[in-house]
């Protein structure tokens, strides 16, 4: 056995031992947890009172009192007031004792339930989520369970399944990822965008105002200053649209997504293709969904297995294409096109040459290997 394998086996062996110790600690903690009934029993013992007498004085059955003492039945407000009268200890003491006991018991049971989720969370891109700051580094897999639940804003594994896998049943997401290649990575990417949007202060959405600012955004696409991402985000926010840029995750091949989240349209873009022609086409494509299509719709671009409304996608493509390079500038192209012709089209259309190259490649007029040097590289650093 080589040293790497030996180290790996030792590492997982240590983790297994740690988890066994933690499991044993949970069992012990549950056994040692003291219900408020222990205090009731101690008090009546000191008073020389038996459980049947306490039951008579409180007007309850002996079995009911026994269940309260064993922690099987909770101490209600009414019971606490009765204990105050019979034992002379304030009701608020019993209610606080009961609340603390139930909280500690619930936490232990929650930890026990989370132990059953360990294999489930291993399916998520934990390394990338750690790298991007969404999960803590240097924690055991068990310690990451509650962090992943908090990341998604859910309490259980079933909660995640209802939101992301159930077929159009969830009020939170309204579309199923069950048929996609990796719903765990895809849901993580989508959730990152939602969390990013929460940090944005957006004006109330106004479709007319947003549409009116598109020429200004097109100018940014042409010039692409160094701070173009911040400019784009600011213009969108001022018009009620949350626009966020989310780093690609392995196995989540999405170029963009649009949906309404927290009462505002959310446009989420990745740098999947890493060139300006793809990025800006994707942006204006998502804009079309915001302006042309209902709030209840969710659009996930270039994602195999996701439900696609082809008519709406066609409308969004046409919107983006017409805004960037209207068809009239491309209709007379015949045969092999030269770099000079590309520059001439870009000049007439008042657009960066990369958009001409990208459009011609998409239309299969130009081979995908040609003139890529005219494109501008784009990299999104979301954190």
In a shared domain, residues 263 and 355: yes
| pLDDT number for residue 24 | 59
Contact at 8 Å (CB) between 297 and 289? yes
Which residues face 269 on adjacent strands? 245, 256
In a domain, 6, yes or no: no
In this predicted model, which residue has the larger pLDDT, 219 or 112? 219
| pLDDT number for residue 18 | 47
Tell me if residue 267 falls in helix, strand or coil: strand
In a shared domain, residues 189 and 110: no
pLDDT surpassing 60 at residue 161: yes
CATH of the domain at 63: 1.10.260.40
Tokens at 266, concatenated: 């959310």
In a shared domain, residues 176 and 250: no
The whole-angstrom separation of Cα 96 and Cα 112 is 24
- Identify the band that residue 232 occupies on the pLDDT scale cut at 50, 70 and 90: very high
| pLDDT number for residue 64 | 96
- Smallest CA-to-CA distance from 224 within 57, 377, 6, 27 is with 377
In a domain, 4, yes or no: no
Q: What are φ and ψ of residue 299, in 5° steps?
A: -120, 125
Question: Across residues 305-317, what is the average pLDDT?
Answer: 89
In a shared domain, residues 204 and 158: no
Domain that holds residue 224: 198-374
In a shared domain, residues 293 and 283: yes
The whole-angstrom separation of Cα 236 and Cα 160 is 30
In a domain, 325, yes or no: yes
- Identify the band that residue 10 occupies on the pLDDT scale cut at 50, 70 and 90: low
In a domain, 2, yes or no: no
- Identify the band that residue 169 occupies on the pLDDT scale cut at 50, 70 and 90: low
| pLDDT number for residue 383 | 41
Q: Which of 115, 141, 160 is the last residue of a domain?
A: 115
The H-assigned helical ranges of the chain are: 3-32, 36-47, 51-58, 62-70, 77-87, 91-115, 118-121, 126-131, 141-152, 157-164, 183-198, 207-212, 214-223, 228-238, 276-292, 310-324, 339-349, 353-362
| Residue pLDDT, tens place only, 268-289 | 999 888 899 999 999 999 999 9
- Non-local CB neighbours of 330 within 8 Å, separated by 6+ positions: 345, 359, 360, 363, 365
The whole-angstrom separation of Cα 221 and Cα 281 is 10
In a shared domain, residues 207 and 356: yes
Which residues face 243 on adjacent strands? 267
In a domain, 10, yes or no: no
Q: What strand order describes the sheet that includes 242-245?
A: 242-245, 264-269, 256-261, 299-300
Q: Is the pTM of this model over 0.85?
A: no
Listed range (83-92, 202-211, 340-349) with the worst mean pLDDT: 340-349
In a shared domain, residues 325 and 204: yes
| pLDDT number for residue 303 | 83
Mean pLDDT computed over every residue of the chain: 88
- Smallest CA-to-CA distance from 251 within 182, 179, 165, 148 is with 182
Q: For 245, which DSSP code?
A: E
Whole-number CA gyration radius for the chain: 30
In a domain, 27, yes or no: no
| Residue pLDDT, tens place only, 326-364 | 888 888 777 688 899 889 888 998 999 999 888 888 888
In the chain, the number of structural domains is: 3
The whole-angstrom separation of Cα 43 and Cα 128 is 55
pLDDT surpassing 70 at residue 240: yes
Tokens at 79, concatenated: 């019971």
How distant, in Å, are the alpha carbons of 210, 270, 357 from that of 379?
Answer: 25, 9, 19
Q: Which of 115, 136, 157 is the last residue of a domain?
A: 115
| pLDDT number for residue 15 | 45
Q: Which of 145, 172, 197 is the last residue of a domain?
A: 197
In a shared domain, residues 80 and 213: no
Tell me if residue 101 falls in helix, strand or coil: helix
pLDDT surpassing 90 at residue 374: no
The whole-angstrom separation of Cα 48 and Cα 213 is 82
| Residue pLDDT, tens place only, 126-151 | 999 999 999 999 899 989 999 999 99
Listed range (16-30, 304-318, 323-337) with the worst mean pLDDT: 16-30
Question: Across residues 226-253, what is the average pLDDT?
Answer: 93
| pLDDT number for residue 9 | 52
In a domain, 46, yes or no: yes
């Amino acid at each position: 056995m080589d040293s790497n394998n030996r180290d790996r086996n030792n590492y997982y062996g240590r983790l297994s031992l740690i988890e066994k110790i933690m499991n044993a600690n949970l069992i012990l903690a549950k056994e040692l947890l003291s219900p408020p009934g222990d205090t009731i029993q101690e008090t009546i013992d000191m008073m020389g009172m038996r459980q049947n007498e306490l039951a008579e004085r409180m007007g309850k059955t002996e079995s009911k009192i026994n269940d309260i003492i064993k922690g099987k039945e909770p101490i209600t407000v009414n019971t606490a007031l009765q204990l105050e009268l019979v034992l002379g200890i304030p009701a608020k003491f019993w209610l606080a004792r009961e609340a603390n006991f139930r909280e500690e018991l619930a936490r232990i049971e929650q930890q026990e339930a989370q132990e059953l989720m360990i294999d489930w969370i291993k399916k998520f891109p934990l390394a990338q989520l750690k790298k991007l700051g969404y999960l803590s580094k240097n924690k055991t897999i068990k310690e990451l369970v509650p962090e992943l639940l908090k990341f998604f804003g859910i309490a259980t594994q079933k909660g995640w399944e209802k939101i992301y896998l159930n077929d159009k049943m969830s009020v939170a997401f309204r579309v199923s990822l069950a048929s996609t290649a990796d719903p765990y990575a895809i849901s993580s990417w989508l959730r990152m965008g939602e969390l990013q949007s929460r940090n944005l202060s957006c004006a109330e959405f106004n479709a007319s105002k947003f549409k009116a600012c598109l020429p200004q955004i097109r100018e940014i696409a042409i010039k692409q200053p160094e701070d173009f991402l911040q400019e784009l985000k600011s213009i969108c926010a001022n018009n009620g649209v949350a626009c966020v840029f989310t780093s690609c995750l392995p196995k989540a091949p999405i170029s963009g997504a649009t949906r309404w989240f927290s009462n505002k349209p959310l446009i989420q873009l990745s740098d999947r293709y890493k060139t300006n022609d793809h990025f800006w086409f994707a942006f204006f494509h998502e804009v079309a969904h915001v302006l042309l299509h209902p709030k209840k719709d969710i659009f996930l671009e270039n994602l195999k297995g996701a439900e696609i409304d082809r008519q709406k996608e066609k409308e969004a493509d046409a919107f983006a294409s017409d805004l960037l390079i209207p068809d009239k500038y491309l209709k007379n192209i015949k045969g092999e096109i030269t770099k000079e012709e590309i520059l001439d089209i870009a000049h007439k259309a008042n657009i960066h040459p990369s958009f001409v190259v990208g459009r011609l490649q998409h239309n299969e007029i130009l081979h995908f290997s040609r003139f890529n040097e005219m494109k501008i590289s784009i990299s999104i650093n979301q954190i």
